[in-house]
């Protein structure tokens, strides 16, 4: 495939992703059902998600009080799509632990990464992603459903949001170009580890700024989602892994 063909193919995929940001008229009927004029999680889905959460908790090897198990992200909202994940958050109070809070967060992040990498759990076509969340962490999502208590914590609102496709594409292409430059430099033998970490920090700050100022539908967050869904962020992560693996290896 020529470079031109690759660019056209990427462009078509990005357009498809942009369309997925549009809000739907209903929540996903694979996950929710209407009951007494409100959406509630389907019983079989709720039961399965609690089983998944318990399986993950069993792998931790430490005891703690579970304040809640929640579904958040686009599947708990009207902007769900084929790209959505089942964002399963286990809520605990980090301050209740005798361990250092920062070390505890690193521990849970590591356990989460291992579990997510080891398992390929699919619920009605959606990948399951587990995250341990501190009870003091604010709810950024405009839709949060308590699986443990079977009720809404944050009820999603069906609002038609105007999305500036052009702005998202322009900023997305800027980040994609930066990633491609790092790939080219790495292939030429240049040390790009520091630059990769800086770009990852920039991406994280870019998204967080958007979430804090404009919420889930901020152009910053949607740009981040575009980069995640078209594989650009994974390409950046894989590039760092490739460099580290090479440094740790010894050729004959």
Q: What's the token pair of residue 32?
A: 């929710």
Whether pLDDT at 169 is above 80? yes
Per-chain mean pLDDT for the chain: 88
CATH 3.30.460 occupies which residues in the chain? 32-154
Side-chain half-sphere CA neighbours of 140 within 13 A: 18
* Count of beta carbons in the 10 Å neighbourhood of residue 240: 16
Order across the sheet with 126-134: list the strands: 122-123, 126-134, 85-92, 68-72, 144-146, 151-154
Give the phi and the psi of residue 6 in degrees, each rounded to 5.
-65, -40
User: Considering the chain, what percentage of its residues have pLDDT values greater than 70?
Assistant: 95
Whether pLDDT at 7 is above 50? no
Q: What is the mean pLDDT of residues 8-28?
A: 80
The neighbouring-strand residues paired with 40 are 33
Whether pLDDT at 252 is above 70? no
Q: What is the pLDDT of residue 199?
A: 95
Whether pLDDT at 150 is above 60? yes
Whether pLDDT at 47 is above 90? yes
Higher pLDDT, 19 or 54: 54
CATH architecture of 32-154: 2-Layer Sandwich (3.30)
Q: What is the pLDDT of residue 137?
A: 84
Three-state helix/strand/coil letters over the chain = CCHHHHHHHHHHHHHHHHHHCCCCCCCCCCCEEEECCEEEECHHHHHHHHHHHHHHHHHHCCCCCCCEEEEECHHHCCCCCCCCEEEEEEEECHHHCCCCHHHHHHHHHHHHHHHHHHCCCEECCEEEEEEEEECCCCCCCCCEEECCCCEEEECCCCCCCCCCHHHHHHHHHHHHHHHHHHHHHHHCCCCCHHHHHHHHHHHHHHHHHHHHHHHHHCHHHHHHHHHHHCCHHHHHHHHHHHHHHHHHCCCC
C-alpha span between 108 and 115 (Å, rounded): 10
Q: What is the pLDDT of residue 48?
A: 97
* Count of beta carbons in the 10 Å neighbourhood of residue 40: 15
Q: What is the mean pLDDT of residues 184-201?
A: 93
Whether pLDDT at 4 is above 70? no
Whether pLDDT at 30 is above 90? yes
| Of residues 248, 241, 247, 229, the one with CA closest to residue 196 | 241
Q: What is the pLDDT of residue 5?
A: 42
Cα distance between the two ends of the chain? 34
Q: What's the token pair of residue 64?
A: 């703690």
Q: What is the pLDDT of residue 8?
A: 41
Q: What's the token pair of residue 184?
A: 């080219």
Contact call for residues 77 and 142 (beta carbons, < 8 A): yes
Whether pLDDT at 10 is above 60? no
Task: For residue range 211-222, list pLDDT tens digits in order.
Answer: 888 888 888 999
Q: What is the pLDDT of residue 182?
A: 95
Q: What is the mean pLDDT of residues 115-135?
A: 91
Q: What is the mean pLDDT of residues 100-106?
A: 86
| Confidence category of residue 158, pLDDT binned at 50, 70, 90 | confident
């Amino acid at each position: 495939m020529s470079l031109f063909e690759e660019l056209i193919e990427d462009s078509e995929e990005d357009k498809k992703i942009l369309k997925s940001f549009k809000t739907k008229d209903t929540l996903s009927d694979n996950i929710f059902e209407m009951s007494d004029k409100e959406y509630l999680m389907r019983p079989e889905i709720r039961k399965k998600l609690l089983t998944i959460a318990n399986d993950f908790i069993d792998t931790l090897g430490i005891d703690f009080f579970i304040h809640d198990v929640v579904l958040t992200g686009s599947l708990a909202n009207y902007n769900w799509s084929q790209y959505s994940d089942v964002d399963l958050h286990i809520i605990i109070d980090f301050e209740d632990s005798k361990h250092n809070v920062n070390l505890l967060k690193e521990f849970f992040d590591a356990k989460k990464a291992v579990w997510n990498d080891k398992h390929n759990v699919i619920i009605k076509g959606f990948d399951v992603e587990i995250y341990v969340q501190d009870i003091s962490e604010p709810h950024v999502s405009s839709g949060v459903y308590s699986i443990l208590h079977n009720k809404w914590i944050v009820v999603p609102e069906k609002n038609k949001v105007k999305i500036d496709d052009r702005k998202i594409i322009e900023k997305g292409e800027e980040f994609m170009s930066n990633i491609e430059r790092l790939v080219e430099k790495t292939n030429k033998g240049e040390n790009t580890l520091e630059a990769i970490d800086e770009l990852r920090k920039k991406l994280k700050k870019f998204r967080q700024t958007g979430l804090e100022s404009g919420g889930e539908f901020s152009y910053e967050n949607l740009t981040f989602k575009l980069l995640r869904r078209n594989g650009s962020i994974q390409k950046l992560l894989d590039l760092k892994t490739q460099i580290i693996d090479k440094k740790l290896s010894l050729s004959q």
